[in-house]
A and B are shown apart, each in its own frame.
Chain A
Amino acid sequence: MQPIHLAWVDYTVLLAYVAFVVGIGWMLARYMKSSADFLTSARSIPTWVTGLAFISANLGALELVGMAASGAKYGIATAHFYWVGAIPAMIFLAVFMMPFYYGSKARSVPEYLQMRFNKPVMGLNAVGFAIMTVFASGISMNALAKLLNQLLGWNYHFALFVCSGVVLIYVLKGGLTSAIYTEVLQFFMIVLGFAPVVYLALKDVGGWSAMTDKLHAVAQNPMALDLNSKAFAPDAWTSAWKPLLGGYDANPMGVNVFAIVFGLGFVLSFGYWCTNFLVVQRAMAAKNMTAARNTPIVAAIPKMLFPALVILPGMLAVALTAMPDKNYRIPPPIIAPEAYTQAVDAVKSANPADSAATVKAVAVALGEKVNADKITALVASNAANKLTDEQVKQGVYNSVAAYDYDSVIFSLVKRYCPAGLLGLALTALLASFMSGMAGNVTAFNTVWTYNLYQAFFVPDKSDEHYFWMGKFITVVGIGLSIACAYFARQYNNAMDIIQLVFGFVNAPVFATFLFGMFWKRTTSIAAFCGLFGGIAGSTVFHALTIATGNVPGVKGAYLWSILGHEVPKSCIFPSEMAQNFWLATFAFAVCFVLTLVISIATRRTKTDEQLKGLVYSLTPKIVDHDVPVWQRPAVVGTVLLIACVILNIIFW
């Protein structure tokens, strides 16, 4: 793609946004008087604000970009990440878990583990989490800087430092409150910035039914678009559940119902939504217990509808690609201009009688697979009409048989947005990066200051000291994120490695919380061994298994190559997603069994009295009599679950 030229009006929108987020930080600075103000917002924020911040902290740009990519690759089944993989867990958090997080007065999720168990369990969770947040914001900033470089021709380092700098200013000024307030602003920015793009793309395709008609045709022959190597039933892209019922081979995701329901819907989703401090921190900042419990509920409403904003564009892009008269394709991977020049020469000097040689020459020049039929047609058309270099180049571009799915969303922005709206869409993109980074940084500084620095290194200092440390570590955290961004840029595999670590740390942790909160018999030593065993278990699982088509190494199964063995058939999964879901399930099971067995075998060290407010059976139930019906988490949660089931049925 050519860099996009921005007009003054686009820059004005961008600057207005930056001015407002920095301004919010400035306005809040005068309220920052203690470490609690800075790191936990002193529990002062209304529900609708924490609710939208909850969802915005999760809606990083990688999600925005990645979900559109998955929408193109897998169709509507991607919505399972929302309807199965988010809503039930969010409602569970609201109704069952928030009372303990908020009621225990813990300042963070790891701190709850310290109160319920002991310091080592908390330390294990806090260290894993701190590393994860830094890497997460690093990866995301690297992606942003790369993108601004490709899209707008901005200098990579400039983009990286300016964006991090803006986040640094408003977080340093206004702490968590500032991050939460700007996240609300960013939420509206993202929704209002991308909605018109989706609307225009839908109009262009000719509406919903025109899109599904196209996708039915694509599903039966995805080879024609080089979208997939095998044919599926017509509804593979347009039904959420039916293709999964046919098993691994019947859907482009390569997963089955069990992997989705248990791996994604239970282990991964509850592990993320119910224990990840990044999101839970937003609910903990709420002004009272009802507000805290309603935070994930408020967040669930937009979350349920987001597929229309983030997944639909991917599906529309596939439909557009399948309509030749629209002159659109999902962009190919980035190829150097010199390679295109070589390929154009190969086409122009081609012998029409020997098209196989031309196809090969073009593929070699580009370093990508090309569609042989399209090249043959291009050569013939060039021989007949003497095309210009630009036309030949366009033909070569269209023939590349590989897609850079992550650029789907930008190709649509570029196609539909005139100056003005373009600025708005790009600002929305920037906002999503910043909300992700600020979310990570504010979670990181709290966990570091309270759960690592205060708990393990410097326990008995004045609050002023921790307030200062909170600010200092914010700067360090952003510095580390920038370092991670460069790391991710340096090594192509960095992303894979980091995502692996996330999987290892995240997958088992929900079992620990489940036992801790709902079984008073769970002992501290069991929790520690279970968590540790779960992490170790997922590492071993990964070392032994791999997805079809991947080479042993970072993607898994390296233990076999070390042992000099072929990877046995039983260790090969049909897709990476299936491998991930099974890894999570395995890690969870290891943690679950270890915690259970060791708890039974060891003696309790905490009395019922000590566990009051921390364990379900020992805590008085919250009675919502004085709360209006429409504000009761259990009532609204049930309504939302029903709505979610209805959505699943509509798109069955």
Chain B
Amino acid sequence: MGLDIRWPIGLMFSLIGVLLTGYGAVNRASSLTRIDGQEININLIWGVVLLVFGALMLLGAMRGNKTPPSA
């Protein structure tokens, strides 16, 4: 059917990625997970991961070949 699912997946994860990255960058204090005294800004890290994933999906959709990878 006429919808390439990579568009909505790419858009959604890019959006959430931007949101988490932004939130992690601005609200550092409430974005930290403390493990053994080490502080990890997990929102920032994971936001970037989501953003990269979303961008890759969008890239795939944009290249728009009608035969997406089968595995």
Contact = CB atoms under 8 A, between A and B. Distances in A.
Interface in B5-57: 5, 8-9, 11-13, 15-16, 19-20, 23-24, 27, 30-33, 35-36, 40, 42-43, 45-47, 49-50, 53
Contacts of B27: 419-420
Contacts of A418: 30-33, 42-43
Interface string A278-315: 00000000000001001001100100000000000000
Interface string A44-87: 11111101000000000000000000000000000000000000
Contact of B3 (A48, A51, A181, A188): A181
B46 A196 contact: yes
Interface of A: 7, 9, 12-13, 16-17, 20, 23-24, 27-28, 31, 41-42, 44-49, 51, 177, 181, 184-185, 188, 192, 196, 200, 203-204, 291, 294, 297-298, 301, 416-421, 424, 630-631, 636
Closest CB pairs A-B (n = 8) = A420-B43, A47-B70, A20-B12, A31-B1, A420-B23, A181-B5, A204-B35, A9-B23
A274 to B, nearest CB: 21
B70 A192 contact: no
Main secondary structure of the interface of B (DSSP, over half): helix
A24 B3 contact: yes
A46 B46 contact: no
A75 B40 CA distance: 28
A20 B43 contact: no
A13 B35 contact: no
Contact of B5 (A7, A42, A185, A636): A185
B46 A421 contact: yes
A48 B15 CA distance: 23
A294 B30 contact: no
Contacts of B45: 196
Contacts of A196: 42, 45-46
Q: For the side of the interface on B, what is the size category?
A: 35 or more
B5 A49 contact: yes
Given A204-B36, A417-B33, A23 B8 contact: yes
A498 B23 CA distance: 44
A200 B35 contact: yes
A521 to B, nearest CB: 37
Contact of A424 (B8, B9, B16): B16
B61 to A, nearest CB: 13
Given A200-B35, A418-B32, A184 B5 contact: yes
B45 to A, nearest CB: 8
B1 A28 contact: yes
30 contacts: A17-B12, A17-B16, A20-B8, A24-B3, A24-B5, A27-B3, A28-B3, A31-B1, A31-B2, A42-B1, A44-B1, A46-B67, A46-B68, A48-B68, A48-B71, A51-B71, A181-B3, A185-B12, A192-B49, A200-B33, A200-B42, A297-B71, A298-B70, A418-B30, A418-B33, A419-B23, A420-B24, A420-B31, A424-B16, A630-B71
Given A28-B1, A200-B33, A298-B71, A13 B19 contact: yes
A553 to B, nearest CB: 46
Given A417-B33, A418-B33, A418-B42, A24 B8 contact: yes
Contact of B70 (A12, A24, A177, A294): A294
Contacts of A31: 1-3
Identify which of B1, B15, B19, B32 gathers the most chain A CB atoms within 10 Å of its CB: B1
B15 to A, nearest CB: 6
B19 A421 contact: no
A12 B15 CA distance: 10
Contacts of B11: 20
A185 B5 CA distance: 8
A17 B11 CA distance: 11
B50 to A, nearest CB: 6
Nearest to B36: A204
B19 A12 contact: yes
Contacts of A421: 20, 42-43, 46
